[in-house]
Structure 1
Amino acid sequence: MSGHRVADPAARCSDPVAGALVAAAFAAISSRYVLARHQIAAAVLDADGSIHLGLHLDAMVGRAAVCAEASALSAARLVTGADLVAVAAVRYPKPTEPAAARVVPPCGLCRELLLDHSPGIRAVVPDGPHPLLVPLGELLPHKYVGTKWPAHLANP
C-alpha cells in the first residue's frame, strides 16, 4: 500500500448498485495494492446478489498480465452459474499521484470477454464527477461474434 490516505470513489456514485460495486473494488485494491504489481481491483455482481472480486496481476511480459475484470469473472464462475449483472473496477493511485482512487472502464479485451459470458452485463464507467452504470454493450458496439458458440449464446 502507498501509505497515504486515499479517497473512496464510491462516495460519488448516485446509483446504489454502482456504489456497492465500487466500494467492494476499492476495499479490495486498498488492501492489496502493490506498486507495479496490483493497481486495479474489480467487483462483479451476480443475479443472486453476490459480489465476486478480482485483482489485476501485472507481469514482466505485458501479454501475460491479467486484468482485474477477468479475474473477477473467473472468481464468479468458480462458484456460480448465475447471470452476471454488473461490474466495476477501481484503480489505486501510485504514491506520486494525487490520493484519489478512480473508477476505470473495462479495457476492450475485457469488454469482449465479459460480453461473451454475460451479454446483458452493465459496467460502472467514469462520467464527470459521478460514475454511471451503463449497459456494457453500449461501450462495445458491433461486438465480434464468431462461430465457436451457437449464435443465440454469443449474442442473445
Structure 2
Amino acid sequence: MERYQLTDHDKRLIEIGLDVLKKNFDDGIYNHTVGCAVLCKNGNMYKGVNCDGIHGSCAEYITIGSAISAGEREFETIVAVHDKHLNCVIPPCGNCRQMLYEYCPDIKVIVNDEKGQLIKVKARDLLPFAWEPVIC
C-alpha cells in the first residue's frame, strides 16, 4: 500500500471538516456528528456532515453526494473528522470504503497510520477484495 504525505491542501480539508462539524454538531441521541471535506481534482472543495436516523448517512456519503450533485466526477482527497479523535481524523467505515471504492477508487483518504501519524492512502487500499459490479 502506497502512503502519501499530507499537503497544505490536506490540512485545509481537515480545517474545513472541523468547521462544518463545529457549526452543525448535534449532541442529541446519537452524539456522533462527523464532519467531512473532499477536494476535487479541479480544486473545488465540498463539505458535509452525517445525517443520523433509522437509515442514517455518513458524512462521506453526504459530502461526495454534494460534489456529485454539483457535477463533480474527479476527486483528489477526502477526510472525515471529529474533534475527539486522534488528530481529529476518523477512518471511513466499511460502507463508506465500499462507496469510495465504487465512485472513486483512486481518491486519497486521510487516515492515521499505525503510529498515529496522518497519512493518505488510496480508497482501493482500504478495502482489499472489494465487491465490484459484474460486467458481462
Q: Structure 1 stretches (4+) deviating beyond 6 angstroms? A: none
- Counterpart of 1:121? 107
- Counterpart of 2:118? 131
1:44 to 20, 26, 38: 38
2:34–2:50 CA contact under 8 A, matched in 1? yes
Moved more, 106-115 or 33-42: 33-42
TM-score scaled by length of structure 2: 0.84
Amino acid at match of 2:40: D
Instruction: Return 5+ residue gaps in structure 2 as ranges.
Output: none
1:58–1:66 CA contact under 8 A, matched in 2? yes
1:56 to 43, 50, 57: 50
Structure with max Cα Rg: 1
2:10 to 18, 37, 45: 18
Moved more, 126-135 or 113-122: 126-135
Following superposition, the deviation at residue 89 of structure 1 comes to 0.5
Amino acid at match of 1:122: K
Aligned length: 129
- Counterpart of 2:23? 31
Amino acid at match of 1:87: I
1:15–1:133 CA contact under 8 A, matched in 2? no
CA distance in 1, matches of 2:19, 2:57: 19
Sequence identity (%): 23
The alignment's C-alpha RMSD in Å is: 2.2
2:63 to 62, 72, 86: 72
Amino acid at match of 2:71: T
1:37–1:57 CA contact under 8 A, matched in 2? no
Instruction: Return 5+ residue gaps in structure 1 as ranges.
Output: 1-12, 152-156
